[in-house]
Structure 1
């Protein structure tokens, strides 16, 4: 069964983009990250990618996903309106535009991923939707050594949760944190323990 891993690169003060909407400071190490053993391991564990439409649209050319995106796996894009023309695909990567909500997108991505992870690549809005629906199994937060001071926060009014540390890894200047979401167990009477 697939594990849904969601999170983002954040500044030390918890922002996923600055007050002007830029993510540049959070990916100043993009080339180094792209060559890291950390990313290679993440790629090997990923069976499908889940993203929002704004993140999908950040690519200058949608056909570039099939030509060279770092995750060569099926991509599920949550959107209200799919583009009129489907992007290029290859035998490992194709894009599915999901218009009936995050739960449907997660179901489809999990089916495609099999026993591998569904890796969330996206912004705070979709993350909050996933979190509110209880669809996140593990949090993956990469902390960059920068203070943005203002902008969009990853965690902002989200429901509380208990977490269990899975790993802490130094990846160049960033610190990659991974936590399992601890869900209350239910006894045979259907009440939480």
Structure 2
């Protein structure tokens, strides 16, 4: 099976959104979509995992068209599935997982086969994955902005279980530096 990779964009001072919940950290998103590294990531991704908040950040009904960059099965970690959701297409589908991160990762890995099961957020979903020992790599895109307060990705991390080893640094766009870490030592929760 392929790797489980988690990715998140954050400010230089470690926040993924401000105290109002704004996530305007990607003014270069259109440029990012055209980079060789992002195209390689989308080509090598076999499934996507996200939390309910990330699912609701944009109009998910627009995702089910052929323009969304990840045309793969999408697994949404949630307590309660929405009453209505997009049908999907012949490549992209939505599965709402209500029985925990382990189940979401297992289903996503099965769907991805030898490709990447990619966690694209949110913070709580990535924290659960890291703490449960289910994440192979962590990709952080650092943006040169200071937010000062808000939601931090690395809160609630069990630092006795989660250790990181930097394996790649790339200037992805004029604004974005991407750092990839191997999760070198995690132990599943007892």
TM-score w.r.t. length of structure 1:
0.90
The residue number in structure 2 matching 1:9 is 9
Give the Å deviation of 1:166: 2.2
The residue number in structure 2 matching 1:40 is 39
Matched residue SS, 1:63 = helix
Q: How many residues align?
A: 183
Give the Å deviation of 1:165: 2.3
- Distance in 2 (CA, whole Å) between partners of 1:93 and 1:157 is 32
1:57-68 residue pairs with structure 2 within 5 A?
57-60=56-59, 62-67=60-65, 68=67
The residue number in structure 1 matching 2:184 is 182
- Distance in 2 (CA, whole Å) between partners of 1:73 and 1:22 is 27
- Distance in 2 (CA, whole Å) between partners of 1:143 and 1:118 is 22
Give the Å deviation of 1:184: 7.0
Give the Å deviation of 1:51: 0.2
- Distance in 2 (CA, whole Å) between partners of 1:115 and 1:92 is 16
Pair 132,184 (structure 1): closer, same or farther in 2 beyond 3 Å: closer
Q: Which runs of 5+ in 2 are unaligned?
A: none
Give the Å deviation of 1:182: 1.0
Moved over 6 A (4+): none
The residue number in structure 2 matching 1:88 is 87
The residue number in structure 1 matching 2:170 is 169
- Distance in 1 (CA, whole Å) between partners of 2:77 and 2:154 is 20
- Distance in 1 (CA, whole Å) between partners of 2:156 and 2:58 is 29
Q: Is the 8 A contact 2:131 2:186 kept in 1?
A: no
Q: Is the 8 A contact 2:50 2:119 kept in 1?
A: yes
Give the Å deviation of 1:163: 2.1
Instruction: State the superposition RMSD in angstroms.
Output: 1.5
1:133-152 residue pairs with structure 2 within 5 A?
133-152=132-151
The residue number in structure 1 matching 2:21 is 21
Pair 147,99 (structure 1): closer, same or farther in 2 beyond 3 Å: same
